[in-house]
């Protein structure tokens, strides 16, 4: 009888340890989801605020950014069953997924300056508020139609004058930060830059 009691006691001890271990493992998982959500919320607000502040002189683009962000928040909260005040274990992951997707979208739309390369960059003007249309003729000289391919820049239109053959210059340097990219342009094939060409974020895909 004594031996049986000891075995039964050991079984209770092991069972108790298993329960405690499972409970301990469960708690950090919830804390981790909360941390992931908090981090994504912080990064989203930081990226959004930085972009809004940087394009503050472009009222049309600021309005578009704010309006689309409000619309996105409303949709996120609805889909994630979030009251907009306090998140809980039931919607941490949903909110994090939405936030991370939005962060990626904002960076691609406003900060992906490398995406300029390989595409035709054209001047535009605003009509009806936010709508952007290609400006043909009468544009400023700084708004030429160009394309950047590897270490070359191709100019297809200078001011309002269309060119039969593009002017091709060498790119001998490139400097990029979070909101701008600057190219050093060599026009005399001597590897010495004669002027710099800079692109600065001023709105969505602008």
pTM, two decimals, is 0.61
Domain end (from 63, 88, 111): 111
- 54 and 78 fall within a common domain: yes
Domain end (from 111, 141, 169): 111
For residue 205, tell me if it sits in a domain.
Answer: no
Please tell me whether residue 18 adopts helix, strand or coil conformation: helix
Q: Which residue has the tokens 């909360």?
A: 34
For residue 151, tell me if it sits in a domain.
Answer: yes
Q: What is the pLDDT of residues 108-144, one digit of tens each?
A: 888 877 777 776 666 555 555 555 554 444 444 444 6
For residue 123, tell me if it sits in a domain.
Answer: yes
* Type and span of the H or E element at 3: helix 2-54
Q: Does residue 19 surpass a pLDDT of 50?
A: no
Q: What is the pLDDT of residues 156-186, one digit of tens each?
A: 765 555 666 777 889 898 888 777 888 888 9
Residue 107: CB atoms within 10 Å:
13
Q: 44 pLDDT band (50/70/90 cuts)?
A: very high
Domain containing 138 equals: 115-200
């Amino acid at each position: 009888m004594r031996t049986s009691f000891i075995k039964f006691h050991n079984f209770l001890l092991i069972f108790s340890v298993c329960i405690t271990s499972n409970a301990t493992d469960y708690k950090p998982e919830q804390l981790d989801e909360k941390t992931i959500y908090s981090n994504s919320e912080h990064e989203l607000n930081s990226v959004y605020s930085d972009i809004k502040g940087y394009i503050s002189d472009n009222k049309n683009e600021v309005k578009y950014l704010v309006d689309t962000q409000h619309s996105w928040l409303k949709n996120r909260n609805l889909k994630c069953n979030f009251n907009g005040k306090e998140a809980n274990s039931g919607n941490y992951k949903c909110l994090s997924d939405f936030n991370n997707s939005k962060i990626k979208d904002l960076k691609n739309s406003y900060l992906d300056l490398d995406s300029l390369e390989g595409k035709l960059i054209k001047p535009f003007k605003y009509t009806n508020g936010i709508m952007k249309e290609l400006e043909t003729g009468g544009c400023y000289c700084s708004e030429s139609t160009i394309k950047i391919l590897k270490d070359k820049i191709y100019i297809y239109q200078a001011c309002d004058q269309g060119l039969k053959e593009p002017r091709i210059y060498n790119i001998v340097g490139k400097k990029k930060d979070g909101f701008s990219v600057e190219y050093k342009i060599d026009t005399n094939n001597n590897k010495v830059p004669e002027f710099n060409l800079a692109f600065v974020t001023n709105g969505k895909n602008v």
